[in-house]
Amino acid sequence: MSDTVSFTAMKDGTKEEYELLERLEKPFLALTADRVLDELRRAGDVTLEGYRINRLQHGLQSGTRALRDGVDIDWVVGALLHDIGDGLAPQNHDRMSAEVIRPFVRWEVSWTVEHHGIFQTLYYGHHYGWDRNARDRYRDHPLFDTCAIFCEAWDQSSFDPDYPMEPLETFEPMVREVFSRKAYDPVVIREGEVTGLPTQLGSG
């Protein structure tokens, strides 16, 4: 059998052709971590102007703060990658970033990353005439406090050019470990389970 399918419309594919595609997809999926790390590196070159650090440094700084606060690998990788969607989806980067990590981390981490954008407006929304308390629509959500702590401890505070952040090499093994997990494994995702974050974070 050829390594290329014969169909030009998906509905015409055979079982054998889709089994071929599944086999050929596996090495591509195995390189997901490499592509994520490449996107992080690109964030150091293609960045948002005006800030005192670039997008890569912001991710490294957020991840470093999480790492030094002693949280587990899901939270560290979530903090590192919380803005990974900036390059392709700056208007909804929070949701895109969440989709990148969603198959591989706990539900509470992906939910927090998905909603960190609206929670962050607490710090600056009023300067644009926005409702800085727009996050209050989630006040009754079980992860409200978790997302608020995430933003306070690791996101809004991570724009400091003098902060001694870890290099990307520190995080590479963690990214590879997380993205090597079976996608959407219920044992990993733990849908609806809230562990939360300690309120005293932010010393790292």
Based on DSSP, count helices (H) and strands (E) in the chain, helices before strands.
9, 0
* Residue 85 structure tokens: 């969607």
pLDDT at 154: 98
First-to-last alpha carbon distance for the chain, in angstroms, is: 56
**DSSP output for 146-189:** HHHHHIIIIITT---TTS-PPPHHHHHHHHHHHHTSPTT-HHHH
User: Is the alpha carbon torsion for 164, 159, 142, 78 positive or negative?
Assistant: negative
Q: How many residues does the chain have?
A: 204
pLDDT at 189: 98
Please tell me the pTM assigned to this model: 0.94
pLDDT at 153: 97
Please give the Cα distance from 144 to 111 (Å, whole number).
10
Please give the Cα distance from 148 to 76 (Å, whole number).
16
pLDDT at 67: 97
> Which residues of the chain have a pLDDT value below 70?
1, 202-204
pLDDT at 1: 56
pLDDT at 111: 98
